[in-house]
Amino acid sequence: MSQEIKKIALLTGGGDCPGLNAVIRAVTRTAILQYGYEVIGYKFGYRGLYNNDFVPLTLESVSGIEHKGGTILYSSNKDNLFDYLVNEDGKMVKKDVSDVAVENMKKEGVDVLVVIGGDGTLTSARDFSRKGVNVIGVPKTIDNDLAATDVTFGFNTAISIATEALDRLHTTAESHHRVMLLEVMGRNAGWIALESGIAGSADVILLPEIPYDINKIVEKIEDRKKHGKPFSIIVVAEGAKSKDGEVVVAKIVEDSPDPIRLGGIGNKLAGDIEKIIKENEVRCTVLGHLQRGGTTSTFDRILSTRYGVAAADLIKEGKFGNMVCLKGDVISCETLENVIGANKNVNPDGELVTVARKIGISFGD
């Protein structure tokens, strides 16, 4: 006989992302209104689960949050309970403290844990599932780099903001005959750069998946000048690299499970291009966390709501160990075992790159 579910818990892990609040709201509302579950939320991701630090989630507490970026449950991208920094006799050591989390859930009578996060957070979700915890995953990341789903929530908001930034950079580029670079996020995947670049009429798009040659970029800029366009717009993914170069690392966050923070390629490239093209000023704008903050796009609010409702439905159906996902226009699910480590990168020969090339966009290759 399947277990009777009375109480569920939510947590948000990893970097914040537009749509987290909309998922929290949708899971909570569906859980309460349709299935009569009690709902709590652990604060600061897995850290809250370890410290038994939680808040009740009610129809009132999730009211008025659908459009807001960030997460009312707070988040952490440093806390992996399977490899957690603890103080033991005055010494900081890494330990597997996942049993403490399981005990905390038992103590509180939590029957199911809904984990809303990207690859790192969902890896722990899978590991808790392997320990026998009833887990449901919801795929979050502005990078859109999870293979198991066509789209992660947060991505649409990020590309909308990047596209608007490109629109705004166009006016200065045109007025001053400048080369304007926009550096966008995405880690080792070029989705944000590719889609905002097409939508924002970029002349050059630089992706981690297609290493660039600076001479080809300069050729494109010079060719535009010959055709009466003395300015150019370049969008560069933070993970882009030249044919003979390495990614540019902004910082190493030592206590993070994924310590490398990319960033800096835009300014480096602006300097390199300016050395070759003397008659145009080259400027770089780094969009940074603006891509993740503020108001959630309409698409992401709807996708997040669909994911949240689907997560609550999976609980009702007892389909644990799964992550909700979008395939085409259909919400379905995929086992966490298959989701983890399966990343999705831009296909250099894929349709979107081909479309961009056909309308004359250069990839610097």
- Residue 170 makes contact with ligand F6P by CB under 6 A: no
- Residue 186 makes contact with ligand F6P by CB under 6 A: yes
With beta carbons less than 8 A apart as the criterion, state whether 54 and 108 touch: yes
Helix (H, G, I), strand (E, B) or coil at 90: coil
Binding piece for ligand F6P, criterion CB under 6 A, among 104-112, 124-132, 185-193, 314-322: 185-193
Per DSSP, 44 falls in state T
Please state the closest distance from residue 16 (CB atom) to ligand F6P, in A.
8
- Residue 5 makes contact with ligand F6P by CB under 6 A: no
The number of beta carbons lying within 10 Å of the beta carbon of residue 275 is 10
- Active-site residue, 143 included: yes
Q: How far apart are CA 344 and CA 346, in angstroms?
A: 7
- Residue 262 makes contact with ligand F6P by CB under 6 A: yes
- Residue 183 makes contact with ligand F6P by CB under 6 A: no
Q: What are the E-state strand segments in 207-299? A: 232-237, 249-252, 260-262, 282-286
Bridge partners of residue 39, in order along the sequence: 8, 57
- Residue 29 makes contact with ligand F6P by CB under 6 A: no
- Residue 344 makes contact with ligand F6P by CB under 6 A: no
With beta carbons less than 8 A apart as the criterion, state whether 55 and 87 touch: no
- Residue 346 makes contact with ligand F6P by CB under 6 A: no
Name which of residues 241 to 260 contact ligand F6P (CB under 6 A).
Answer: none
The number of beta carbons lying within 10 Å of the beta carbon of residue 242 is 17
Per DSSP, 68 falls in state B
Q: How far apart are CA 102 and CA 122, in angstroms?
A: 16
Size of the site for ligand F6P (CB under 6 A): 13
Binding piece for ligand F6P, criterion CB under 6 A, among 40-48, 129-137, 140-148, 331-339: 140-148
- Residue 38 makes contact with ligand F6P by CB under 6 A: no
Q: Was 285 annotated as part of a binding site?
A: no
Q: Was 216 annotated as part of a binding site?
A: no
Q: CB nearest ligand F6P: which residue?
A: 185
Q: What's the chain's Rg over C-alpha atoms?
A: 22
CA atoms within a 13 Å half-sphere pointing along the CA-CB vector of 31? 32
Binding piece for ligand F6P, criterion CB under 6 A, among 20-28, 29-37, 136-144, 351-359: 136-144
Q: Which of 143, 203, 300, 313 is catalytic?
A: 143
Structure tokens at 202: 């970029």
Please state the closest distance from residue 177 (CB atom) to ligand F6P, in A.
31
Site string for ligand F6P, 274-293 (x = CB under 6 A): ------------------x-
Residue type, 88: E
**Which among 3, 86, 93, 6 has a CA at the least distance from the CA of 50?**
86
Which residues would be at the binding site for ligand F6P (CB under 6 A)? 15, 77, 118, 141-143, 185-187, 238, 261-262, 292
Q: Which residues are catalytic?
A: 143
Pick out the residues of the known binding site for Mg(2+). 119
